């Protein structure tokens, strides 16, 4: 059974509370304030997703310190939200107890959620966690959900997507700001990742310098998980040869994000022109739109724009994204362009059927009701 004892920095700093601690902690505060100024949230409700790990603990502590330094008394509130997946026995329960204790120490509210305790893929675990965050934000009346993803997380995500075969939007990495969900009842909730440009090493060094404890999830060291293999094996190999690989990839992600904004505008136009409805999902055939008297803008027929638009429409319609890869999106692109068979089956038991002018998407349970 994993050790249920909280991970506390292994060495007491030589100058606890002194110049080293001040320098590292202040650097972390400056980066957080620069990306998400306290003036934006001081009078609003904030939920901080806190696993008990170093990143989320640093985020919660730094956020509270910046609020206390504010020029006026904040009218908003902070909630520490912890989701216990119950996958590591006593260690999972100790994580929850640790975050609850930290919330009490910082004087913030604490909410906990419990998972099924059954092992599943990362996508399912993430969905469970985000449903919990959604419930907490709605019940508490919060505006922002803060998460502690850092630069290495972003680089790992892009490398993972590259190896699965991603499109241009996938190269923009993790979004620093985005809606919690695409459903109408969740669009007012905003996810913020203010440490996304911060190095993992700085976060841990700042905590150690201040002698702030955190929890260590031992399963993160198991490289049989693909994301863990990237973190534990691939990135050290890359940085062993290219010392600046991580910040260099980070700069490339920032550059790609600029193009991502252009693509996002074109995706919005594509959806307005091509999508007939989202419930059920029905789209016009692109080969028909290209031959009408006022043909569609050629930019909207670019394969990259079409795939990203389909991805967005897929998500809005509540279809599972996790099992879709570039091969599946290309099959779907062929269907829209009038090529290949008129009926294809896609992951998640989704059936796409091409008729004279449109493509209709349905699941088996909706096929009977649709006639």
Q: What is the pLDDT of residues 295-310, one digit of tens each?
A: 889 999 999 899 999 9
pLDDT score, position 186: 59
Q: Which of 78-82, 113-117, 165-169 has the highest mean pLDDT?
A: 78-82
pLDDT score, position 294: 84
213-270 pLDDT, tens digit each? 999 987 766 665 688 899 999 999 999 999 999 999 999 999 998 888 899 999 999 9
The region of weakest confidence among 2-11, 116-125, 334-343 is 2-11
Q: What mean pLDDT is reported for the chain? A: 88
- pLDDT over 90 at 53, yes or no: yes
Which of 363 and 8 is assigned the larger pLDDT?
A: 363
pLDDT score, position 365: 61
- pLDDT over 50 at 25, yes or no: yes
The region of weakest confidence among 64-68, 246-250, 254-258, 363-367 is 363-367
- pLDDT over 80 at 76, yes or no: yes
The region of weakest confidence among 17-21, 119-123, 126-130, 277-281 is 17-21
- pLDDT over 50 at 370, yes or no: no
CA distance 254 to 260: 10
Which of 116 and 336 is assigned the larger pLDDT?
A: 336
CB 321 within 8 A of CB 283: no
pLDDT score, position 185: 61
What's the pLDDT band for 317 if we cut at 50, 70, 90? confident
CA distance 349 to 346: 6
- CA 157 from centre of chain: 9
The region of weakest confidence among 2-16, 140-154, 231-245 is 2-16
Q: How many CB atoms lie within 10 A of CB 216?
A: 19
- pLDDT over 90 at 182, yes or no: no
Which whole number is the average pLDDT over 115-135? 84
Which whole number is the average pLDDT over 281-287? 96
- pLDDT over 50 at 339, yes or no: yes
Q: Which residues contact 363 (CB under 8 A, 6 or more apart)?
A: 348, 349, 350, 351
What's the pLDDT band for 140 if we cut at 50, 70, 90? very high
């Amino acid at each position: 059974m994993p050790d249920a004892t909280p991970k506390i920095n292994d060495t007491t700093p030589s100058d606890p509370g002194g110049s080293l601690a001040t320098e590292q902690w202040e650097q972390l505060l400056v980066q957080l304030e620069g990306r998400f100024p306290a003036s934006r949230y001081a009078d609003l409700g904030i939920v901080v997703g806190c696993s008990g790990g170093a990143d989320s603990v640093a985020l919660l502590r730094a956020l509270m310190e910046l609020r206390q330094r504010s020029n006026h008394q904040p009218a908003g509130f902070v909630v520490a939200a912890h989701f216990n997946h119950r996958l590591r026995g006593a260690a999972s329960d100790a994580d929850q107890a640790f975050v609850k204790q930290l919330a009490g120490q910082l004087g913030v509210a604490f909410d906990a959620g419990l998972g099924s305790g059954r092992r599943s893929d990362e996508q399912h675990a993430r969905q469970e966690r985000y449903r919990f965050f959604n419930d907490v934000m709605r019940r508490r009346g919060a505006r922002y959900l803060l998460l502690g993803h850092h630069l290495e997380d972003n680089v790992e995500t892009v490398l993972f997507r590259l190896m699965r075969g991603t499109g241009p939007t996938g190269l923009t990495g993790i979004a620093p700001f985005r809606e919690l969900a695409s459903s109408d009842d969740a669009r007012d909730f905003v996810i913020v990742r203010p440490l996304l440009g911060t190095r993992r090493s700085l976060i841990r060094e700042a905590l150690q310098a201040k002698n702030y404890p955190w929890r260590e999830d031992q399963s993160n060291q198991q490289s049989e998980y693909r994301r863990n293999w990237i973190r534990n094996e691939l990135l050290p190999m890359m940085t062993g040869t290219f010392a600046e690989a991580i910040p260099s990839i980070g700069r490339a992600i920032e550059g790609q994000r600029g193009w991502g904004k252009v693509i996002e505008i074109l995706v919005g136009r594509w959806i307005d022109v091509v999508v007939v409805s989202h419930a059920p999902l029905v789209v016009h055939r692109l080969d028909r739109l290209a031959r009408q008297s006022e043909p569609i803008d050629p930019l909207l027929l670019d394969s990259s724009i079409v795939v990203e638009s389909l991805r967005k429409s897929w998500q809005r319609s509540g279809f599972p994204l996790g099992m879709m890869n570039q091969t599946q999106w290309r099959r779907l692109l062929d269907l829209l362009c009038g090529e290949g068979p008129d009926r294809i089956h896609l992951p998640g038991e989704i059936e796409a059927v091409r008729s004279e002018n449109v493509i209709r998407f349905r699941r088996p349970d909706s096929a009977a009701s649709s006639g």
